[in-house]
A and B are shown apart, each in its own frame.
Chain A
């Protein structure tokens, strides 16, 4: 098992009590994300689709490499690696400044 860190984008920090990084132990990208989901229920549904792959407009970077261009969820991780969850859209997102700004359901603005 390798010790790695998962970096969390602002819109998802409501799921991590405001934390911008979550340390986990894992052997692969898929295991690391599964561990993140165990630690912070609700977050994985925002990141992965029903097949367990990154949703459209969601990128998972291992260091500077997009895991889609590596071995996907099977990509192995090593001690000290940094995994980052990054939306493939730059505009419109909001700054969390902590968990207080996240609406967990994402639906409290509905008419």
Chain B
């Protein structure tokens, strides 16, 4: 197929305003990018499209398979775009990635290498690195954790879009931006772009509990944790802890307002409300990384409605 229209559909996502923040911070306005409308269903399309484009322009694949680790959303983006572009894809994914993710990756024809869920995501990451090292003739390692195309996609895309969408609403950059750290791509790229526009933008990282954790977010708290190479920690002004329970409660609340989003989005909105109250922010921006449909099989929505 012609991959151009698919790639052109990535990014330029809607900006929605969430009035619920005024319940805790009456002066504040909260704006969020709805990333589930990307063709792969998540914010990961942005970085993966950029890294793939860079790889094809540079001609580094040389007939080899694209290899990376993923907990699922990036894997879907790789599998989808690899199928569209005719690039064979191998993904190392922990076995506890949600069934929706694994099924879709397989449907796009990517090769899956499943790792022991008890060993966690960083084990999958190390396994991908090992495969790349041991079989350089077979794999080109895209490595979303150290590939600069990742954060640049958010600098040129997500961050620039936020500025242009917020300009008529706020006259410029927001007081604060909330995201998390998975690969570090979003917070580094958007954080840098916003701080260039306005030096005192407060960039806040939502930090999840270590267990059971929040899909796509690293705790980054313990020695020995893998810290992504592309993460610019100097861009982060504040780290705010958020529990899975808080994230899920916010997801259910957002669903009642018509937004069906995954746990990381709930975590970011929860933290956005907290920091607006704590710092008296008049405006906060964030991203809603994926859709709640990607978590149906986890039982996330099979609970009493709040």
Give the interface of A toward B (CB within 8 A): 7-12, 20, 46, 55-59, 68, 84, 86-97, 100-103, 106-111
Contact = CB atoms under 8 A, between A and B. Distances in A.
B121 A92 contact: yes
Given A56-B300, A88-B299, A90-B94, A106 B239 contact: no
9 contacts: A9-B119, A10-B123, A56-B212, A56-B245, A90-B101, A91-B213, A94-B222, A95-B226, A109-B239
A10 B125 CA distance: 14
A84 B298 CA distance: 16
B117 A86 contact: yes
Contact of A89 (B71, B126, B221): B71
Interface in B215-254: 215-226, 238-241, 244-245, 248
A83 B148 CA distance: 41
A11 B244 contact: no
Nearest to B278: A111
Given A56-B244, A94-B210, A86 B118 contact: yes
Contacts of B216: 91-92
For the residues of B in contact with A, the DSSP-based class is loop
Contacts of A46: 211-212
Contacts of B239: 109-111
Residue among A68, A94, A95, A111 with max Cβ neighbours from chain B (10 Å): A94
A90 B97 contact: yes
Residue among B96, B216, B218 with max Cβ neighbours from chain A (10 Å): B96
B291 to A, nearest CB: 15
Interface string B115-130: 0011111111010000
Given A10-B118, A56-B300, A91 B221 contact: no
A43 B241 CA distance: 20
A96 B215 contact: no
Nearest to B204: A111
Interface in B130-180: none
A100 B45 CA distance: 35
A110 B71 CA distance: 25
Given A10-B119, A10-B120, A57-B300, 20 more contacts: A8-B118, A10-B123, A11-B211, A12-B211, A84-B118, A87-B117, A87-B211, A88-B98, A89-B71, A89-B96, A89-B212, A90-B71, A90-B95, A90-B98, A90-B101, A91-B94, A94-B210, A94-B226, A95-B123, A101-B222
